[in-house]
Structure 1
Amino acid sequence: MSRSQSERTAEIDVAVVGAGVIGMACALDLARQGKRVQVFDPEGPGQGASFGNAGHLATEQVFPIADLSILKRLPAMLLDPMGPLRLDWTYLPRAMPWFIRLLLNLRPAPFQRTVAGLRALNDASLAAWQRLLQSIGHAGLLKEDGSLLAFERPESREALLALQARMGGQGVPVEYWEAGAVQAAAPQLSERILGGLFFPATGHFIDPHRVVCALLDAAEALGVAFHRQRVIDGQLLPDGVALRLGSGSVRARQVLIACGAHSAAMTERLTGTRTPLDTERGYHLMLPREHGRLPFAVTSFERKFIMTPMEGGLRLAGTVEFAGLEKPANMARAWQLHRLSQGLFRHDLDAEAASPWMGFRPSLPDSLPVIDRACGGRVLLAFGHQHLGLTQAAITAEHIGRLARGQAVDGLDAYRLDRFCWT
């Protein structure tokens, strides 16, 4: 490393590994503290899961990502390549330890810890996003108009009412809508829709990638630098961290690991803790010719996918595939979303010029993220938010900002890294 490079890298207070919505929200919070921040990612800002998520501010999702019924669904997961929940049989040996941990976390005590942990983050998420977007002059990127979980089959009504009772018991604002209320609010939906649950304290982002770009612009205005570089390795130093890049190396007083599904290796390298992080491969299909079909995000209870109105059209998303980080995308799963939409509207959706996408959701078997400070404060951690990365990004950034200052943050025990030290 040249003398000029050494002088430049010595001025880094926090190196942020990952330029998704969580990494960029954290980088902005840290820069507002006066810290000198640099962000590293091999892709452009917001090009991973932050680019292709459903755009739903899912504050209502306070239960784990799976339940015990996953055991009954396992044969279909292995045999149906187009099912809403797919497990690639070649990935099964690697996935089984994760699934076993997931099942163990569905026992009463850990299940309640998960629900309490998700509620704590989700209850604070909407207000945190309001503060963040207003502070950068982009409040219009979030539409606070609720969301709907719709059903078509008469036999689903009882299950929806039971879900309403469970969510209401957790303090989630929820209303039961009959078919007439659904038609009044979303008249282009088919008369097959018999009703649904409406969640008034949710919303959607009109363009998730624009959100990341807006955060980047605000951060760069405070001196944050983005580098399109892969962080290959890391080493703890007495006064900070050294990171080896694809080209060169840097030193910083602190590092924040916020690279989603790719966070496990660097976390283990720096902290010695092996996290059971796996990836749920999510797909979307973007329909650029569809505007005005829906006033808010609508999820199909039976068909297991979500439709979100966005600035660039209508986004269909929601399938889950366990196949790891290396296997090529199966874009037929993205196109399957258009077939799933047929019959949900009075007139079928226009798929001309549609674009498919696949990305990686970082998921831990207890459905909770890691939000923590380790190694005497030299290492900060913000990853594993599963389907809720966009929802929880702003509140996660506020927590990381306090942890970076060395402050104690009440209520973060559920998200500590050391909960995995037994593995």
Structure 2
Amino acid sequence: MSSKDTPPGRGTVAVLGAGLVGLACARALQRAGFQVTVVDRGGPGEGASFGNASHIATASVIPQATPGILRQTINLLRDPTGPLVARPGYVAKHLPWFLRFINNGNPATMKAGSLAMAAMIGKAWDSWLPVLDDIRARHLVKQSGALHVFRSRAALDAAQGSYAFRRDLGVASERLDADAARAIEPTLSAGIGGAMHVPSMGYVTDTLSLSLALAARIEQAGGRIVKATATGLDAKGIQTQDGRIDADLVVLAAGAWSQAFAKQLGVHIPLVSERGYHVMLPRDSSALRMPLLLVERKVAVTPMEKGIRLASMAEFDVPDAKPDHDRAVPVLTGLDGWAKGLDAEPISRWVGPRPSVPDSRPVIGRAPGAPNVLLACGHGHLGLTLAALTGDAITALALGQEPEIDMEAVSPLRFR
């Protein structure tokens, strides 16, 4: 272990959660001199980090709740083949979350949230690239740009305001007609209405390998990855079914399960489980060059190492509920009219829970009343995109420094 890997000791940290956010936090803390232990009931990257759309989503600077969100939500729920599912019992249990989400759709809140998100997401690549060099994983990430594809020209016309707003926030994009879009991505079908090219986006070719590279680097530098089921958490450590892990600091990065552990500290985070689904198509089914977002269908398409990933769905239900793959099939199939090869037979399918908060911004900061517990949760659709940035922010807090992001925008105190 070199001195570069481990500066003078600063104490011990226990990180609950071995997804990309937890692992990025652990490695950043380790590089700052902390001795780290990562605890998870599964292996590194086997949860939501395994199955996400794999996009570095630099265009996702607008919160999920926008003006007109109530009407949009009702229309989506009425569509039996649409991507939105809300289980009645789950909605009833978390009704305050959904009311807060709808209320966040007002123009002023949406604009303020967009400014805050753009400031964070604009730092995503600068945060990730040093991490990728550290874990020798640059080959897993492609700075390829992406195409947001529209089936109809009318939908493309209607979306121009949102892309102009993104450009005001620093996210460059270019409108392409169908021929220009196919010149960039020849697999696109002749019948599309056009696309928006977002050059700052990128993707990960194998999300599990990225998590495993982080975990291996942590262990190589003297850290521990402990596979154990956590039953409790406090300011002095993590209790598991196999015993207790004491630490000077604790990082809560347990994804969709974070609220249950925060509650043990007397901290309320309005966080719910928003489950996503994906199917994988054979890699040779398509010559896709770059990631796509099929806008009207709300499907992300990604050319990964082991296949073409089609990801979608927002299913509000308990994290461990039985998968409803039959419900996801209409969303993730019938896409041959968008691009060649997307009608191939899937070789695998997956479901996993996103940890979603009503304003679409992560929760990063010291736990109120328990300053030795650092919160790193609630990333929703942006866990992959913001994992490295979150690790930097958590490490700055642990060192008593000021993070390079607006901490008020991600503070757990904003929900009071």
TM-score, structure 2 as length reference: 0.93
1:303 aligns to 2:302 (yes or no): no
Q: Equivalents in 2 of 1:78, 1:343: separation in Å?
A: 24
1:14 aligns to 2:13 (yes or no): yes
Residue of structure 2 in register with 1:211 after alignment: 210
Alpha-carbon deviation of 1:332?
1.7
User: Greater shift after overlay, 125-134 or 290-299?
Assistant: 290-299
Q: Partner letter of residue 356 of structure 1?
A: R
Q: Equivalents in 2 of 1:244, 1:72: separation in Å?
A: 44
Residues 192 and 275 of structure 1, relative CA distance in 2, 3 Å threshold: same
Residues 278 and 254 of structure 1, relative CA distance in 2, 3 Å threshold: same
Residue of structure 2 in register with 1:277 after alignment: 271
Alpha-carbon deviation of 1:301?
1.5
Residue of structure 2 in register with 1:370 after alignment: 363
Q: Partner letter of residue 240 of structure 2?
A: L
Picking from 343, 346, 357, the partner of 1:349 is: 343
SS of the residue 1:166 aligns to: helix
Picking from 251, 254, 262, the partner of 1:256 is: 251
Residues 220 and 348 of structure 1, relative CA distance in 2, 3 Å threshold: closer
Alpha-carbon deviation of 1:228?
0.8
Q: Equivalents in 1 of 2:257, 2:106: separation in Å?
A: 28
SS of the residue 1:220 aligns to: helix
Equivalences for 1:224-243 in 2 at 5 Å? 224-236=223-235, 241-243=236-238
Picking from 377, 380, 384, the partner of 1:386 is: 380
SS of the residue 1:279 aligns to: strand
1:223 aligns to 2:222 (yes or no): yes
Alpha-carbon deviation of 1:208?
0.9
Alpha-carbon deviation of 1:121?
1.2
1:399 aligns to 2:398 (yes or no): no
Alpha-carbon deviation of 1:348?
4.9
Residue of structure 2 in register with 1:200 after alignment: 199
Q: Equivalents in 2 of 1:190, 1:122: separation in Å?
A: 31
Q: Equivalents in 2 of 1:108, 1:75: separation in Å?
A: 19
SS of the residue 1:27 aligns to: helix
CA displacement 1:27-61 (0-9 Å, x = unmatched): 11111122111010001110111000000000111
Residue of structure 2 in register with 1:96 after alignment: 95
Equivalences for 1:40-119 in 2 at 5 Å? 40-119=39-118
Alpha-carbon deviation of 1:304?
1.2
CA displacement 1:140-188 (0-9 Å, x = unmatched): 1110010111112132131132222121122211111111111111112
User: Greater shift after overlay, 14-23 or 377-386?
Assistant: 377-386
Q: Partner letter of residue 387 of structure 2?
A: A
2:83–2:328: 8 Å Cα contact kept in structure 1? no
Alpha-carbon deviation of 1:69?
3.3
| CA RMSD, Structure 1 to Structure 2 (Å) | 1.9
User: Greater shift after overlay, 374-383 or 68-77?
Assistant: 68-77
Alpha-carbon deviation of 1:207?
0.7
Q: Equivalents in 2 of 1:376, 1:327: separation in Å?
A: 31
For structure 2, the 5+ residue unaligned runs are 1-9
SS of the residue 2:159 aligns to: helix
Q: Partner letter of residue 302 of structure 1?
A: E
CA displacement 1:8-43 (0-9 Å, x = unmatched): xxx970000000000001111111122111010001
2:13–2:248: 8 Å Cα contact kept in structure 1? yes
Alpha-carbon deviation of 1:342?
2.6
CA displacement 1:380-419 (0-9 Å, x = unmatched): 1100011000000011111111111111225211111111
1:285–1:337: 8 Å Cα contact kept in structure 2? no
Residue of structure 2 in register with 1:7 after alignment: none
1:273–1:418: 8 Å Cα contact kept in structure 2? no
1:338–1:351: 8 Å Cα contact kept in structure 2? no
2:149–2:195: 8 Å Cα contact kept in structure 1? yes
User: Greater shift after overlay, 285-294 or 111-120?
Assistant: 285-294
1:12–1:251: 8 Å Cα contact kept in structure 2? no
SS of the residue 2:123 aligns to: helix
2:51–2:351: 8 Å Cα contact kept in structure 1? yes
User: Greater shift after overlay, 95-104 or 145-154?
Assistant: 95-104
2:187–2:286: 8 Å Cα contact kept in structure 1? no
Quick one: percent identity of the two aligned structures?
37
1:188–1:293: 8 Å Cα contact kept in structure 2? yes
